[in-house]
Amino acid sequence: MKERILTGDRITGKLHLGHYVGSLKNRVELQNQYETYLILADVQALTTHFEKPELIKQNLRNVALDYLSAGINPDQATIFVQSLIPEIAELTTYFSMFVTVNSLRHNPTIKAEAKERGFQDMYYGFLGYPVSQTADITFCKATLVPVGEDQLPHIEQTRKIVRRFNQLYKPVLLEPKPLVGDVPRLIGLDGNNKMSKSLGNAIYLDSTQEDVNEKIKKATTDPARIHKTDLGHPEICPIYAYHQAFRKEGSDEIYESCKKGQIGCMECKRKITRSINDLLEPMRERRIVYQNDPKKVDEILMSGTEKARLIAKETMQEVREAMSMNYF
């Protein structure tokens, strides 16, 4: 029997290259090897977008298209909608009874996101979404979770919650392990932060060739280089980071040429622009196919949700029995 993977995204917007190298690429590669479940986390999207739920409805299909265009095969992977699995909410409630507020406040990802969003005080849902995420993972008894580096604290918290539940009641839940992508964090086009929807420094998976060309042209490079022959510092240049991520076979040559002042920033940008467009072109082709058949996309989501719901019911029966809450 194959091991089971659970991963997914808060559907707060379209996916970008940072998502691809941090997690999505792994999901595509691993779907043949593992039983793969992908969650469209619409409830967790409300933790930061509760004032505009209409955007989440729009994002649901956008992210589904991102998955399918990136190479997720609905015949091999199950895509489902979080809010349509009520057992996840029930399991979240049970976990929240023994997870302390302090442990959530000290989660480095929560602290960083709260600071990034300027939260003076954290909403209950935002503070507790690692608990909800634990329910996402454990309801289907996933053993492996492909994630980006910034999600590792959540996975560790999940493991702690699972251990605590199994110690308190019965060992019915499985402790998952993280699987981090080859390039855990991709720097943004501005060179100052990770690539992020909220920071506006991203190249999206649905970007046209023109979009990619324009964004790379404007991207930050080595600030110390003024002339082509100036000695470069590729280790601080986001364009070189993209070469490492998307042109591995040529990245060493770029590094040496930059250090010696033998390649200019514009030529370096042209090379990586071609590589990124080569990566995205088959995604564009697949996206058009699914965009032209929206009913097919809906069928994929409905079928996946029904399959996930069956597993959720089985897990919750075990959980209730472990907690002596199977009353009738």
Q: Which domains does the chain have, with CATH numbers?
A: 4-186+294-322 (3.40.50.620), 209-287 (1.10.240.10)
The tokens describing 221, both together, are 């490079």
Residues of the chain with pLDDT under 50: none
What pLDDT does 173 receive? 98
Q: How far apart are CA 176 and CA 103, in angstroms?
A: 19
What pLDDT does 151 receive? 77
Q: How far apart are CA 88 and CA 42, in angstroms?
A: 12
> CA-CA-CA-CA torsion for 193, 197, 200, 203, nearest 10 degrees?
90
Give the pLDDT confidence of 136-178 residue by residue, as tens digits: 999 999 999 987 677 788 889 999 999 999 999 999 999 999 9
Q: Is the pTM of this model over 0.85?
A: yes
CB 133 within 8 A of CB 158: yes
What pLDDT does 183 receive? 60
38 beta partners: 7, 79
Whose tokens are 């005080």? That residue is: 121
Closest C-alpha among 269, 322, 328 to residue 91: 322
Whose tokens are 């909220």? That residue is: 198
- Interior angle at CA 31, CA 2 and CA 84, nearest 5: 90
Question: How far is residue 4 CA from its own chain's centroid?
Answer: 17
Distances (CA, A) of 327 to 85, 88, 89, 195, 271: 22, 20, 20, 49, 65
Give the pLDDT confidence of 195-206 residue by residue, as tens digits: 988 788 999 999
Angle between helices 152-168 and 108-116 (to 10 degrees): 130
Q: How far apart are CA 301 and CA 158, in angstroms?
A: 26
User: Coil, helix or strand for 229?
Assistant: coil
Q: How far apart are CA 261 and CA 224, in angstroms?
A: 12
Give the pLDDT confidence of 290-319 residue by residue, as tens digits: 999 999 999 999 999 999 999 999 999 999
